[in-house]
Amino acid sequence: MSRYIAITDIHGELGKLENLLSKLSVNSDDIFVFMGDYIDRGPDSRGVVERIIEQSNYNECIYLIGSHEYALLHAKSDDYYQFLFDNYGGPATVRSYGGFENIFRVHGEFFKSLKFYHLTDKYLFVHAGINPDYPLEEQDEVDLVYIRGKFIHSSHHLPQKIIFGHTEFDKPYIDEGKIGIDLGCGKYKTARLCALILDDDGSEEFVYSD
């Protein structure tokens, strides 16, 4: 049976992504879920996007939107998101693409195609989390990419376990209903990138970059 391999918050760190992928024993029927924040902060956002797109030549890949892609897509139409993009690592993305407009010439269709979540019988994959006060079909898209404390410190009512990123931890955050796998890659030089492998039998395995 196929496994899900979840990776999130790469933040332009192509070297750490390549290192992590080299440690995975990937089967052809494995399904990758890349959970957003591919860009900003690190030196090679363009390389990260190209690499995760390349993975689709070998495996089924699902690509979710993160808070940084959300800010990128809204930067030119909303001053608030322009501020976020400019102050949370966006200039590194611009450098890696050789200009802001070139981001959209090269990978605009990719960024515009990103999903807000992926739902299976057992798991909900989402960048930041959900607002526990609302059912999934009534979630605000901003919460899906930006929510933190209200989601993390509350129980939710979905039958699925929620796999999320966005909020960094020193080690994977695990409670009964959720697993967080953002370890601060791109924000801290020594932070590792984490992959969560979810087997059909319910087992969970964490793999880390150096």
43 backbone dihedrals φ, ψ, rounded to 5°: -85, -15
- pLDDT tens sequence across 56-75: 999 999 999 999 999 999 99
Strand order in the sheet with 123-126: 117-119, 123-126, 161-164, 178-180, 173-175
- pLDDT tens sequence across 117-168: 999 999 999 999 999 999 999 999 999 999 999 999 999 999 999 999 999 9
Cα distances (angstroms) measured from residue 83 to each of 66, 74, 86, 114 = 16, 10, 5, 22
CATH class in words for 4-208: alpha beta
pLDDT at 161: 97
pTM of the complete model: 0.97
How many CA atoms lie within 13 Å of 5's alpha carbon, on the beta-carbon side? Answer: 24
Q: Which residue has the higher pLDDT, 200 or 92?
A: 92
**Neighbouring-strand partners of residue 118:** 125
Radius of gyration for the alpha carbons in the chain, expressed in angstroms and rounded: 16
Helix (H, G, I), strand (E, B) or coil at 156: coil
How many CA atoms lie within 13 Å of 133's alpha carbon, on the beta-carbon side? Answer: 4
115 backbone dihedrals φ, ψ, rounded to 5°: -90, 155
Is residue 1 predicted with pLDDT exceeding 80? Answer: no
Average pLDDT over residues 48-52: 98
Query: What is the end-to-end Cα distance of the chain in Å, rounded?
Result: 29
Local structure of residue 115 (DSSP, 8 states): B
Contact between 209 and 19 (Cβ < 8 Å): yes
Residue type, 175: D
Quickly state the pLDDT bin for 2 (edges 50, 70, 90): confident
77 backbone dihedrals φ, ψ, rounded to 5°: -110, -5
Tell me the domain boundaries of the chain: 4-208
Rounded Cα–Cα distance for residues 5 and 188 (Å): 23
